[in-house]
Structure 1
């Protein structure tokens, strides 16, 4: 009797385990009219592993290495060979189960090796990836500024400033100046109001007689805060 006549509506009997199962539990096979093969997925996987082990033995004389069982909620890192909880693996949307293949320490180490191999180091990688320039362009721009911060003039600035709307590099600033622009969100209006505020509240030396100065402030005489 042809094998196809053994099939029931929506079910098929696996040739290996001889169990009746729904068709969606069988591997796909385009050569079959219904698009499903003769073996259920677990049996097909066993056959594939056995075939791989046979080819490996015949061609290379090696045995398939048996990996230890991994409990639920865990994953084995192929680099360090340790089985760890999923929280020890970085998030990866394209990875299996939403996690990366390597544990966090191995993932970080591989990232360092890649950055060193492709860019010569993390500094060059960071500049290229975020700003589109390298250490050479950074040094040239710093030399044009005289080796000092473009705002306060402090020596040896290390922060590359860029326009957040266009992405264009504007100059090299020290930590404080770069952070200050970020806190003011690169707004000229806010910075102008801050200057006006400082000029109106900061104590200043006022010449009241030739060679005689007096400290004064527009807020002089205002009562101090109760929390002061």
Structure 2
């Protein structure tokens, strides 16, 4: 026979443990006027686990796998099965406790597998995600440039250049030219000033007599510093 529940001063007796506890320690239930169920939260959790184990046994013939105890500041990775410190898991705002579910090595491996399956590799993934083009379009544009950097004409450039305002792809550059445009922030006045500066300050060999050359600068009369 079920035990009678007597609510006293905002407290209730749990049907399983028979203890009197505050109502907020009982599970939420929409069937009762006060919105709280007949079992306290610890007892309700035990009932739920027992019910799950029974259904698993009856439908699939399997026992519930007992997970190892995880100490504070640690987490168990479901892929490798190892218990590691939280620092070994990537940060994730939506994850439990602010960390991801998988440890960093397992997450990296899963990421590689996903990119390989969906995009054929990490390079294709990054090109599509950042520039909206793939390796095929990259190679076609490189062929249009004769296989050389669009600025300095060095062979085999690897960096896809794009307009930071519109996101449109402009060409393929080598590492140095791509970095130079980035440092100048694509400002035409800055680049024109750099050209004017180089033309006016670069030291050149000037023929002053047959077979005699002198180093001079168009705008500066100071000779180069002597080598140590």
Q: Which is further off, 183-192 or 128-137?
A: 183-192
Matched, 1:219 2:198: no
CA deviation after TM superposition for structure 1 residue 212, in Å = 7.2
Map residues 102-121 of structure 1 onto 2, 5 A cutoff.
Answer: 102-121=102-121
Aligned-partner SS, 2:37: strand
Where does residue 8 of structure 1 map in the other structure? 8
In structure 1, what is the Cα distance between the partners aligned to 2:80 and 2:105? 9
SS of the aligned residue for 2:171 comes to strand
Aligned counterparts, 1:50-129, within 5 A: 50-129=50-129
Deviates more, 1:160-169 or 1:121-130: 160-169
SS of corresponding position for 2:62 = coil
Aligned residues of 2:216 and 2:223 also touching (Cα < 8 A): no
C-alpha separation in 2, matches of 1:40 and 1:128? 52
Instruction: Provide the residue aligned with 1:41 in structure 2.
Output: 41
TM superposition shift of 1:33? 1.3
Q: For residues 101-153 of structure 1, what are the alpha-carbon distances to aligned partners after superposition, in whole Å with 9 as ceiling and x for unaligned?
A: 00000000000000001111111011011111111111111111111111111
- Shift in CA distance, 206/10, structure 1 to aligned 2, threshold 3 Å: farther
- Residue in 1 aligned with 2:171? 171
Q: Which blocks of at least 5 consecutive residues in structure 2 are unaligned? A: none
> Who is 1:198 aligned against?
198
Q: CA 1:186 to 1:25, structure 2 compared with 1: closer, same or farther past 3 Å?
A: farther
Could you give the per-residue CA deviations for residues 30-54 of structure 1, whole angstroms, max 9, x where no partner exists? 1221222111222111111111100
d(CA) in 2 for partners of 1:96 and 1:68?
18
Q: Closer, same or farther in 2 for the Cα pair 1:200/1:9, shift >3 Å?
A: farther
Whole-angstrom distance in 2 between the partners of 1:131 and 1:146: 21
TM-score, normalization: structure 1?
A: 0.90
Q: CA deviation at 1:3?
A: 4.8
CA distance in 2, matches of 1:8, 1:191: 82
- 5+ residue gaps, structure 1: none
Structure 2 residue matching 1:93: 3-state secondary structure: coil
Q: Distance in 1 between matches of 2:4 and 2:184?
A: 76
Distance in 2, Cα, partners of 1:173 & 1:90:
34
* Count of matched residue pairs: 226
1:18/1:222 CA distance change after superposition, 3 Å = farther
Residue matched to 1:147: 147
